[in-house]
A and B are shown apart, each in its own frame.
Chain A
Amino acid sequence: MADPILTLSGITKTFPGVVALDKVSFDVRPGEVHALVGENGAGKSTLMKVLAGLYHPDAGEIIYQGQPVQIDNPLAAREKGILLIHQELSLSPELSVAENIYLGAWPTNALGVLNKRKLRRDAQAALDAMGCSFGPDDRVGTLSVAMQQMVEIARSQAFSANVVIFDEPTASLTDTEKDQLFTTIRGLQRQGVGIVYISHKMDEIFELTDRITVLRDGQVQGTVTTRETDATAVTRMMIGRTLEAYFHKADSTFGEEVLRVDGLSLQGQFEDVSFSVRQGEVLGFYGLVGAGRSEVVETLFGVRKADRGTLQWQGAEIPLPTPRQAIDLGMALVPESRKEQGLVLMMGGMENTTLPHLASYARSTVMDRGKERATFDEYKDALSIKTTGPDQPVSTLSGGNQQKFVLAKWLCAGPKLIILDEPTRGIDVGSKSAIHTLIAKLAEQGLAVIVISSEMPEVLGVSHRVLAMAEGRLVGEFEGDAMTEENLIDAVSHHLARPAAE
């Protein structure tokens, strides 16, 4: 077996309060495709940025072609022959293909005048080596996403890369484009290039890679040979067992059905999703990132437009709503990225709470500060939010307290159904358990609650019923004694392990 071309040993990287990488060791051999997998926050992107020279490790050693090296910046990485293919492509749409391939390394004479002929010729050679159908003079902005990706990969030929790192390269590709990408990757492999392949998608990993390294919470859980393992084992390594938190399951009686979804589909996102939720019930959605859970609830809420499917709201069939209609019906969606979607960070907690309901807090058009204050106090106590006062900007609060204001904002409208997308991501343990208690209390008050979570103990701990999702499909429904980690893992990984062609 060939010696590794690139070896990381004991790489540690800390950010204030977080150990992003904890003594990570990892290597790539020439001509191998090495998968790097792990849930969000496991440390994959940090490791990648260390390799690309964007981060400098606090400790550990990088050995490249037998020599210890230091990678100062992305350019240095590229000059050494380590190339990162970004998920968000790193190209200038207004420049030509040739200019993009050699971005930052254009051939010039002493006066800085471009040697356009050489640039064009070299780029053409790189494109020919890849079998690309477009020319060096095409403007990158006119190319499809797949072709733009080829432009980035063409840099591997232009700079004679020895190691190419792909970060979720198939995220925005069609199936045909994906097959072509794999052909290209195998071509690189034959040239003896070592490839690091980061992905969430098990079928791709088992189709393409030779070895798999699993990261969890910044630590390597193990490196396995792809032939000798299966999706269930890898999933198990990825998810593992997290600290048992205290869970309080709602002790509620189920009432009328609030929402029923039938055959909801959205091309490329999810297929034929059907479920229902009753008053007082907490319905959990479990799945790995990219399974389509958020997309489903965003469609219910009208953020995305479904291709097919019907909705019944409190027993009556309704057309798919717009977000405004969804709010008026009594739906509330607490999105995953609270900073981007949930809060106006410069405003105080009180103003954030009443923001979607300003009409009910105003006399004609003038705001009723007293009424707003009363609502603020009510939710501050009910959710035990730690804030110095109604006007403290929410940007200065902890993640947990921010999340509580997002909840307060939706609760004060008196919704009938509340959808929580990853309600405890990125918040501390104490606030987590407060939010779990709150979920139980809401259900006990008769609300229907949908909780989306990638944390298995959480989803099992708070829900009465759990739906498992994988690759845009519902792959299992579990209730009562059937709600176990084993069953969820099996449901999700069995689906993932099936070949892509199916």
Chain B
Amino acid sequence: MSATNSITKAGGHSSVTRLLMRNHIWVFLALTIVVFSTASPYFLTINNLGNVLTQAAFIGILAIGMTLVMIDGEIDLSVGAILALASALAIGLQDHIGIWPAVFVGFLSGAALGFLNGTLVALSGMHSFIVTLGGLIGIRGLVFIYTGEDALMVGDFSYTEYPEIYLGPISLTAMIFIALALFFQWILSSTRHGRETYAIGDNIDAAHDAGINIKRHKIINFTLCGALAAIAGILLSMRLGTAEPNAGKVWELWTIIAVVLGGTRLQGGYGSMWMTIGGVLTLAVLRNGLRLLNTPNYVELMVMGTVLVLALLIDKLLSRQEA
């Protein structure tokens, strides 16, 4: 059947252009780094870049879970509130049950709430936007009740020393972020669960017809997302030594922005941890660079809003060209 040879492939771009088009965020990140390096002498120093990485880690860990959920074609708005709850439990319970059991309970609370989100989405058929919007409000309420509206202080200050572990300029927090990102990239690219994430987000009917258990699959990803939010909360509580009831407020939005900026598709089916790391770092570099230049806070927000829209516009133009 040599006749099939005359059927040609669509699109004629070389693999290098294609690679760049699909990872445009890294080009964008390189550009911002060049700009800030020339604008501020303090930017391109080992210390500052280490700081950027640490600052990026919290949103970054949230973004890892969000990427999983988003490739599935869903969204999780409750990650900021879960982060706050885990951080409050990890600190608040220390006096009663000890440091590590408290941390473990904090972690479990995140996983359990993620499981609840996933179960509600998968079994009720409600849109995850609604379910996790409920989570966003309800869990935050829970945090206020638990903390009594005040910041909880850590009793044993050895707890706050863990984030002071550094490997050269890289903090433990940053290392955990990078390790988790690499691990979940491997999950996405090399495990059955990871590949199914793409199949479900891309063409849910095809996935269903192929016998993929969509409900179980989505519950797992929401649980992972909740657990990762709890890890971010615990790391934050270690770094600050306090748990504020308002911790992580609107972080779910920054997380979504980072993921989308990276190039992961809001409708699902497309994305990767590489892209998400790129998006997270771009946000962190922008924020850090603008602060080094003493930009007022509201100008910073304006610049970041503009950058987000611009980056997505570029993404749209590139994907049109690719098609």
Binding partners A and B: yes
**Across the interface, do A130 and B211 meet the contact criterion of CB distance under 8 Å?**
no
Assuming the contacts A106-B192, A180-B1, asked whether A90 and B9 have C-beta atoms less than 8 A apart, the reply is no
Contact B4 A91 (CB under 8 A): no
Specify which of B191, B198, B209 is in contact with A108 (CB 8 Å cutoff).
B191
Provide the residues of chain A in CB contact with B270, threshold 8 Å: 94
Is A143's beta carbon under 8 Å from chain B? Answer: yes
Residues of B in contact, count (CB < 8 Å): 30
Contact yes or no, A114 B7, CB < 8 A? no
Interface mask (A128-158 → B, CB under 8 Å = 1, otherwise 0)? 0011111000100011101100100000000
B114 at interface, CB cutoff 8 A: no
Q: Give the contacting residue for B190; candidates A103, A114, A150, A179; CB below 8 A.
A: A114
Chain A residues, CB < 8 A from B198? 92, 94-95
Contact B191 A112 (CB under 8 A): yes
Contact of A183 among B3, B8, B210 (CB under 8 A): B3
Chain A residue with Cβ nearest B211 = A75
Whether the Cβ atoms of A144 and B205 lie closer than 8 Å is no
Return the CB mask of B278-309 against A: 1 if under 8 Å, else 0: 00000000000000000000000000000000
**A180 & B269 in contact (Cβ 8 Å cutoff):** no
| A399, B272: Cα distance in complex, Å | 46
* Known contacts A74-B210, A133-B5; A108/B192 CB under 8 A: yes
B13 to chain A, nearest CB (A): 9
Q: Which residues of chain A have C-beta atoms less than 8 A from B202's C-beta?
A: 92-95
Q: Mark B1-41, 1 if CB is under 8 A from A, else 0.
A: 11111111111000000000000000000000000000000
Task: Verify if A187 is at the interface (C-beta below 8 Å from B).
Answer: yes
Contact, CB under 8 Å: B192 / A93? no
Query: Quick check: is B313 within 8 A (CB to CB) of the other chain?
Result: no
- B206 in contact with A183 (CB, 8 Å): no
Cα of A187 to Cα of B2 in the assembled complex, Å: 13
Contacts of A183 in B (CB 8 A): 1, 3
Q: Are A142's CB and B10's CB within 8 A?
A: yes
A138 touching B209 by the CB < 8 A rule? Answer: no
Q: When chains A and B are docked, how far (Å) is the Cα of A207 from the Cα of B290?
A: 70
Shortest B69–chain A CB gap in Å is 16
Query: Chain A 91-112, CB within 8 Å of chain B: the 1/0 string?
Result: 1111100010001111010011
Given contacts A90-B205, A134-B9, A142-B9, contact A95 B199 (CB under 8 A): yes
The yes or no answer to A375 lying at the interface (CB within 8 A) is no
* B207 on the A face (CB < 8 A): yes
Q: How far is the CB of B177 from chain A (nearest CB, A)?
A: 23
**For residue A131, which residues in chain B have a CB less than 8 angstroms away from its CB?**
1-4
**B323 nearest in chain A by CB position:** A141
Asked if A73 is at the interface of the complex by the 8 Å CB criterion, the answer is yes
Q: Please, which residues of chain B bring their CB within 8 A of the CB of A106?
A: 192, 195
- Is the beta-carbon distance between A144 and B195 smaller than 8 angstroms? no
- Interchain nearest-CB distance for B200 vs A (Å): 9
Q: Are B9 and A147 in contact (CB under 8 A)?
A: yes
1/0 contact trace for A48-89 toward B, CB 8 Å?
000010100000000000000000011100100000000000
* B193: Cβ under 8 A from any A Cβ: yes
Q: Report chain B residues within 8 Å CB of A180.
A: 1, 3-4, 6-7
Q: Mark B74-115, 1 if CB is under 8 A from A, else 0.
A: 000000000000000000000000000000000000000000
The answer to the question of B47 belonging to the interface, with a C-beta cut-off of 8 Å to chain A, is no
Assess the A93–B190 pair: CB atoms within 8 A.
no
Of the A-B pairs whose beta carbons lie under 8 Å apart in the complex, a sample of 20, sorted by A's number, is A74-B209, A92-B198, A94-B202, A95-B195, A95-B202, A103-B199, A103-B210, A104-B207, A104-B210, A105-B211, A106-B192, A108-B192, A113-B191, A114-B191, A114-B192, A114-B195, A116-B190, A143-B10, A146-B7, A147-B7
Q: Can you add 7 more A-B contacts, CB < 8 Å, to A73-B211, A95-B198?
A: A90-B203, A91-B203, A92-B198, A93-B203, A114-B195, A132-B4, A180-B3
The list of the 5 closest CB pairs from A to B, nearest first, reads A75-B211, A104-B210, A131-B1, A92-B202, A103-B210
